Amino acid sequence: MIPTRETCLKILRENEVPEHIINHSLTVEKVALFIAREINVATNRDGSKLNYDLISAGALLHDIAKIKAMEKGENHGELGGKMVKEMGFPKVADSVKQHIRLDSYDKMEEITEVEVINYADKRVAHDIVVPMSERFLDIRHRYGKGSRIILARIEKSRKLTLIVEERIFEILPFKPDDLLKQMESID
Ligand SMILES: [Fe+2]
């Protein structure tokens, strides 16, 4: 089962997710849905189109555990995934769990909802659409401070996200830098 947008927003409020994280999540949702629609149009895949409800729910709930995990010193993707799974939404839980790091990168497979959400999150700093490079600068500043291990992990994640970006923009008829302009043109 996939929760509706309304249910997702209610879940965020019930879990006391702060306003700025909700705003971030709403922008990630917008970016992810835009990319998914463009992929569906460009690939015209039969029966295996990206599911908009799943993308919407995963994007809205991806940071549900951000504050809770910080308090507990846990990974907010893992904790959020667990929470959403316990709510009875295993498919959505999978996107939440993998929004920081994908479990696998199979170049041969078609792009999945999980990848689209993961990538969209890397294009949104706070609630603004930015290039991936800018978002990773922000991530390095916020989480990398003084720790070589964490910085190395962030760098690995950046390289893997570049692969996802390449995969997505192999399909789309515009470049990563034109994403915002493209989104504004249909607004
Ligand atoms: Fe996150």
Lowest mean pLDDT among 9-23, 41-55, 76-90, 151-165: 41-55
Write down the pLDDT at residue 10.
98
> How many A from CA of 76 to the centre of ligand 1?
7
Q: Distance, CA 123 to ligand 1 centroid (Å)?
A: 12
Residue 20 has pLDDT above 90, yes or no: yes
Distance 46 CA to ligand 1 centre (A): 32
What was the pLDDT predicted at 146? Answer: 77
Distance 99 CA to ligand 1 centre (A): 7
Q: Tell me the pLDDT tens digit for each residue of 104-137.
A: 776 668 899 999 999 999 999 999 999 999 999 9
Q: For residue 100, how far is its CA from the centre of ligand 1 (angstroms)?
A: 6
Q: What are the domain boundaries of the chain?
A: 5-186
How much of the chain exceeds pLDDT 70, in percent? Answer: 97
Enclosing H/E stretch for 24:
helix 19-43
Residue 166 is classified by DSSP as H
User: How far is residue 61's CA from residue 12's CA, in Å, rounded to a whole number?
Assistant: 7
Kindly give the distance from the C-alpha atom of residue 11 to the centroid of ligand 1, in angstroms, as a whole number: 16
Return the exposure string of 76-111: e unless at least 16 CB atoms fall within 10 Å of the residue's CB, then b: bbbbbbebbbebebebbbbbbbbbbebeeeeeeeeb
- Comparing 21 with 105, the larger pLDDT belongs to 21
| Torsional sign, CA 113, 118, 123, 126 | positive
Residue 98 Cα, ligand 1 centroid: separation in angstroms?
10
Q: How far is the CA of 174 from the centre of ligand 1 (A)?
A: 26
CA of 73 to the centre of ligand 1 (A): 14
Residues in the chain: 187
**pLDDT higher than threshold 70 for residue 34:** yes
More confident residue, 110 or 79: 79
Centre of ligand 1 from the C-alpha of residue 90, in Å:
18
Beta bridge partners of 125: 128
Q: Is the CATH number 3.90.930 carried by domain 5-186?
A: no
Residue 61 C-alpha to ligand 1 middle, in angstroms? 10
The C-alpha atoms of residue 61 and residue 3 are separated, in whole angstroms, by 10
Q: Judge whether 122 and 161 are in contact, CB under 8 Å.
A: yes
- 131 torsion bin: left (phi>0), alpha (psi -120 to 50), beta (else): beta
Averaged pLDDT score across all residues of the chain:
93
Looking at residue 46, its pLDDT comes to 67
Average of pLDDT values for 146-152? 88
